[in-house]
């Protein structure tokens, strides 16, 4: 044990920020790919997602790729923290706040277990929401952002809990098309990793962002249209939790506008769809094909066209978020948020329009 501790400290101790983040990204990517190869026979046997009227796929496809993603996102950093101990020092500070990562890891893994159970045997709505809320409360308690809203702290906490619960679920709702979660979350996690490189976000956020980005890249080849593997709730729920926590940490650095801009497409698509379904008195907890990205495929958009729109849109939103960080004035924040909302609305409007070409099959 002492040898392993000294080895890890020797390897990772002197690394500069960019080196450490790149190492974590690459390690997580390799571990994700290797885990998928090992898990695939079991997933094909026990975790097939069979198509139904609301599905975007045509043949039974294994789900549960999120197991590999969460393992790859958490395990490398957990091992570094476990074996390096007090010797885990970086060029950019003492690592204050890293101890809270254990609570974040525990919440994410717990939510992944709930998601895995739900994948195999759907849970009732209320117990599922309760488990999700417990995970959100645990992760919010580990945050270091403080009160970033101009309201009493207890009101901020309620808003954070409700927003976190919604974000976990909307990521799950939006994970209904090949590569869409990759197109959404890779730009967000990559951007937060870059912010960590320059010291704009806490060290803990940057480390998890790099690990999760690498894990998603390792998963991406098998989820590429036409997908041979899906994330499943075991992946989408903890990914929503981890990314929501990163955005909370970002908001706590007086960068609320950037924290809103980065996931703005998912936020607007899911939230508008929710209110439209509520207005129609539909059961919003049931599966459906009302999201804008789903309507796009129904309107004749190829899957690659949809995810390309989402990916390019997220690059534009990340650029606007960068502007709000470089010029943190009130006017710039408002203009950037308005510009981001306009861009998302344009994409949603485009998804809502039928193409003149014949509809294409969205998956196998």
pLDDT of residue 52: 60
Distance from the Cα of residue 222 to its chain's centroid: 18
- Please give the Cα distance from 71 to 73 (Å, whole number): 6
Among 5-14, 77-86, 93-102, 202-211, the minimum mean pLDDT is found in 5-14
Mean pLDDT of 53-60: 66
pLDDT for 364 beyond 90: no
Q: Coil, helix or strand for 331?
A: helix
> 11-15, 77-81, 158-162, 202-206 — which one is most confidently predicted on average?
158-162
Residue 48's φ and ψ, nearest 5 degrees, are: -80, 130
Is the four-CA dihedral 230, 110, 200, 345 of positive or negative sign? positive
DSSP string computed for 28-63: HHHHHHHHHHHHHHHHHHH-EE---TT-S-SS-EEB
Among 88-102, 121-135, 251-265, the minimum mean pLDDT is found in 88-102
pLDDT range class, residue 362, cuts 50, 70, 90: very low
What DSSP character marks residue 85? G
pLDDT of residue 356: 58
> 78-92, 213-227, 281-295 — which one is most confidently predicted on average?
213-227
Share of the chain above pLDDT 90, in %: 60
Mean pLDDT of 6-16: 51
Mean pLDDT of 245-261: 93
For 304, the token pair is 């690659």
pLDDT of residue 46: 85
The alpha helices in the chain, defined as continuous H runs, are 2-12, 17-46, 66-84, 101-120, 125-141, 153-174, 180-197, 203-223, 233-251, 256-261, 264-279, 292-298, 303-326, 330-352
Among 3-17, 215-229, 331-345, the minimum mean pLDDT is found in 3-17
Residues 6+ apart with CB under 8 A from 263: 167, 184, 188, 243, 247
Among 118-132, 184-198, 204-218, 264-278, the minimum mean pLDDT is found in 118-132
């Amino acid at each position: 044990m002492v040898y392993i501790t000294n080895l890890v400290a020797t390897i990772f101790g002197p690394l500069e920020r960019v080196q450490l983040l790149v190492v974590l990204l690459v390690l997580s990517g390799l571990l994700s790919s290797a885990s998928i190869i090992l898990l695939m026979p079991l997933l094909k046997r026990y975790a097939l997602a069979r198509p139904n009227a609301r599905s975007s796929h045509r043949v039974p496809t294994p789900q549960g790729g999120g197991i590999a993603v969460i393992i790859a996102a958490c395990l490398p950093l957990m091992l570094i923290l476990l074996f390096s101990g007090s010797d885990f020092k970086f060029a950019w500070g003492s690592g204050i706040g890293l101890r809270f990562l254990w609570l974040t890891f525990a919440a994410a893994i717990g939510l992944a277990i709930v998601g895995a159970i739900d994948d195999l045997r759907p849970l009732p709505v209320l117990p599922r929401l309760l488990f999700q809320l417990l995970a959100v409360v645990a992760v919010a308690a580990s945050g270091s952002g403080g009160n970033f809203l101009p309201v009493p702290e207890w009101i901020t906490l309620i808003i954070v809990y409700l927003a976190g619960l919604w974000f976990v679920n909307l990521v799950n709702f939006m994970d209904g098309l090949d590569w869409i979660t990759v197109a959404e979350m890779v730009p967000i996690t990559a951007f937060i990793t870059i912010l960590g490189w320059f010291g704009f976000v806490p060290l803990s956020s940057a480390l998890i962002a790099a690990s999760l980005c690498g894990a998603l890249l390792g998963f991406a080849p098998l989820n590429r249209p036409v997908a041979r593997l899906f994330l499943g709730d075991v992946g989408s729920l903890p990914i929503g939790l981890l990314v929501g926590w990163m955005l909370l940490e970002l908001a706590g650095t007086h960068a609320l506008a950037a924290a809103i801009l980065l996931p703005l497409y998912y936020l607007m698509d899911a939230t508008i769809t929710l209110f439209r379904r509520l207005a129609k008195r539909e059961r919003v907890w049931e599966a459906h094909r009302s999201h804008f990205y789903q309507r796009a495929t129904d309107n004749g958009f190829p899957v690659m066209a949809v995810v390309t729109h989402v990916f390019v849109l997220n690059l534009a939103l990340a650029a606007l978020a960068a502007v709000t960080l470089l010029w943190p004035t009130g006017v710039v924040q408002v203009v950037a948020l308005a510009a981001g909302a306009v861009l998302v609305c344009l994409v949603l409007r485009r998804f809502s329009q039928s193409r003149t070409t014949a509809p294409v099959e969205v998956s196998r």
